[in-house]
Structure 1
Amino acid sequence: MGLLDSWTPGSHTVGGVTHPTYRKGRGPGVIVIHEVPGVTPEVIGFAEEVVAQGHTVVMPSLFGSPGRGYGTVNTARSLVQVCVSREFTLFALGATAPVAVWLRSLARELHEELGGVGVGAVGMCFTGGYVLAMLADAPVVAPVLAQPATPVPVGAARRRDLGLSPADLDAVRAKVNAGCQVLGLRYREDRQVGDRFETLRREFGDNFIAVEFPGAQHSTLTLHRKQEGVDRVLAFFAAKLGTADRESPER
């Protein structure tokens, strides 16, 4: 049995751009955005825990081959997809990636269907900062940034940059100042994250909640998984989306 066999396949289209989606669960909505190379077994495993807590989880497949692991060939193919697609940006400063339009639409659609206070969203590595872009113009009330790694941290400016246009940064700042908290996770010596946590602290103050672990590993929720990090994300979703009174998933 494949890891995605229990998930319902679908798709979402915005402005002529279509991406596959996988959906499972009941309860408040959470969008789980995969990292490079794609919807790996580890990403699916994390998403299953979010489902078990009492959430409707939607996993978009933005690039890569769903269900495949972190092999060299699979990773290289995913990177090629990212580099040639106009939806993504690798080095742009002060710019929001075009894929944010698609992700915001997905969040709006899920919220319109399920109702409630809003949806949760978690991005990882290459997609980590996309959750902030969603927060700027979508009903995201539980944003999680796991080791945000774009723009690629080449040079001091890119190491600090949050991957947002000035207008989107203003919109995010307004929502955070109004009380929306942002959760971030990283290994402290992970060079791919650059200096973004310092920027997040400066921009959002106490409403940025940093969960940091010693070491130079990278994928806090998947390949280099820290159970404490997973638990903090699940608790954040439960508190912000109204599932805190439900029984925690067995592990």
Structure 2
Amino acid sequence: MTKRSMTVDDPLEDFAHREITLEGKTKIVHVAGAGPAVIVMTEMPGISPHVARFSRWVRDAGFTVYMPSLFGRDGAVPGAEEGAAIFQRVCVSAEFRAFAANASSPVTQWLRALAKFAHGECGGPGVGAIGMCFTGNFALSMMLEPAMLAPVLSQPSLPLNEPGGIEIAPEEIAAVRQRLEREDLTVLAYRFEGDRICKAERFAAYAEALGDRFVGRVLPDSAANTEVAPFFAKHVAYPHSVVTAHLIDEAGQPTIAARDEILSFFARRLRPEA
């Protein structure tokens, strides 16, 4: 993959920009690659160059990436003021439940439909998905779609006001656990030790709800990149984004090891023949 600057807007010119209508709602989805489908859900405040870079890594590992536009300006470097305005709008959006534990955001219904749609287009055993930050828990809710086989939760941050809460309805988390056990599946999750949004209490809540089907990884704060975009410098001034803004793109780094583990997880579930 050609190395790109993370400090200028990404034109996303190597993705097909598709309008996909599901559940009566149309969203732009950026699609690239070949092979089984993996849905990459952006962190706040939108599809930044770092999020696009992660999607390209997934694409180059042998998958078809579906990257839905859920909020923000696609490809933009996260600015401090613009990012804060996007965050405020999303927090009051009917599609998201930023402050409600024990309830799933309505947008997850559309994302489950996207998983089914992508599986129909790409084939293979099933679909993978990763959520980040604001969307971090969504891959877990998407396990209610039978096509979903490989869920990854990166610094799941909702609900914002309850560190030990999880953003999924009790009957849904029970159904997900039953499926994980029945089909011998696992959930991968990542956070930095000193993250002030995704704290240890949240991982403990997931572990209680899912048992040993929940595999949580905690990275040391020293592993986080400190050269970040203005939005993160002002509003997220601590280690948070494991595979995007706070990833250090150098061999031997813990964040690169996390990225490689995620790609291997997708490969085991979605390309077992490889």
TM above 0.5, one fold?
yes
Partner residue of 1:249? none
Q: Which segment drifts farther, 45-54 or 8-17?
A: 8-17
The partner residue of 2:49 within 29, 32, 41 is: 41
Q: Which segment drifts farther, 83-92 or 12-21?
A: 12-21
Structure 1 moving runs of 4+ over 3 Å: none
**Alpha-carbon spacing, 1:119–1:15, altered in 2? closer, same or farther (3 Å):** closer
Partner residue of 1:218? 240
| Amino-acid identity (%) | 39
Partner residue of 1:209? 215
- In structure 2, runs of 5+ residues without a counterpart are 1-8, 222-237, 248-254
Partner residue of 2:235? none
CA contact (8 A) 2:173 2:209 kept: no
Corresponding position: 1:235 with 2:257: no
Partner residue of 1:52? 60
- In structure 1, runs of 5+ residues without a counterpart are 246-251
Corresponding position: 1:183 with 2:191: no
In structure 2, how many angstroms separate the alpha carbons of the residues matched to 1:7 and 1:171? 35
In structure 2, how many angstroms separate the alpha carbons of the residues matched to 1:80 and 1:214? 30
What SS does the corresponding residue of 2:163 show, helix, strand or coil? helix
Measured after TM superposition, the shift of residue 144 of structure 1 is 0.2
Q: State the Cα deviation string for residues 83-142 of structure 1 (Å, max 9, x = none).
A: 232000111121110001110010000112222211000000000001111112342100
TM-score of the aligned structures, taking structure 1 as reference length? 0.91
Q: State the Cα deviation string for residues 159-184 of structure 1 (Å, max 9, x = none).
A: 22221112211111111222111000
What SS does the corresponding residue of 1:191 show, helix, strand or coil? coil
In structure 1, how many angstroms separate the alpha carbons of the residues matched to 2:102 and 2:32? 35
Corresponding position: 1:145 with 2:161: no
CA contact (8 A) 2:115 2:145 kept: no
CA contact (8 A) 1:135 1:143 kept: yes
Question: 1:28-107 alignment to 2 at 5 Å?
Answer: 28-107=36-115
Q: State the Cα deviation string for residues 196-217 of structure 1 (Å, max 9, x = none).
A: 1111222222221122111250
TM-score of the aligned structures, taking structure 2 as reference length? 0.84
Corresponding position: 1:174 with 2:178: yes
Corresponding position: 1:192 with 2:197: yes
Q: State the Cα deviation string for residues 12-41 of structure 1 (Å, max 9, x = none).
A: 223432211100000010000001011100
Q: State the Cα deviation string for residues 17-75 of structure 1 (Å, max 9, x = none).
A: 22111000000100000010111000000000000010000000000000101211231
What SS does the corresponding residue of 1:192 show, helix, strand or coil? coil
The partner residue of 1:121 within 121, 129, 135 is: 129
CA contact (8 A) 2:23 2:113 kept: no
In structure 1, how many angstroms separate the alpha carbons of the residues matched to 2:20 and 2:272? 26
CA contact (8 A) 1:107 1:138 kept: no
Letter in 1 for 2:129: A
What SS does the corresponding residue of 1:224 show, helix, strand or coil? coil
Q: Which segment drifts farther, 163-172 or 19-28?
A: 163-172
What SS does the corresponding residue of 1:23 show, helix, strand or coil? strand
**Alpha-carbon spacing, 1:165–1:9, altered in 2? closer, same or farther (3 Å):** same
